[in-house]
Amino acid sequence: MTRLGYGKEIRRWRVEKYRESDKLLNATPSHVTRITTGSKGEGLNATPSNVTRITTGSKGEGLTYYFESDFDFLFSFNYVLCVEAGIDIHHIQGDIEEYRMDTRVHAGHCRLLQERE
């Protein structure tokens, strides 16, 4: 597998490079101006300073080359915090929106309940 480009060392190297790419992109203020979500493409207004991009999927695990397969990204809004049940939200700073995850729905899904604006 190493000769084919799927050995442990090359996968670790790819993960490091994708993380480095995310760090550089997240530090660049002019890259993201609009993020779309869902099949309808409803836009979420997001500026680069309040959104963090994380490479996930096969690229995030270092399993594929740059031009091989698709890219999966997770966009995290820096002003929103999602906590699981049982977390004490009174110790979290006040300028962050808080949502609680309700996992009593279909497997692999959760419902977000707003706790504090």
Distance of CA 48 to the CA centre of its chain: 13
Give the containing element (helix H, strand E) for 58: helix 57-60
Mean pLDDT of the chain: 75
Beta bridge partners of 77: 51
Give the containing element (helix H, strand E) for 20: helix 8-27
The pLDDT score that the predictor gives to residue 46 is 52
pTM for this structure? 0.57
The pLDDT score that the predictor gives to residue 36 is 47
Question: Domain limits of the chain?
Answer: 1-76, 79-117
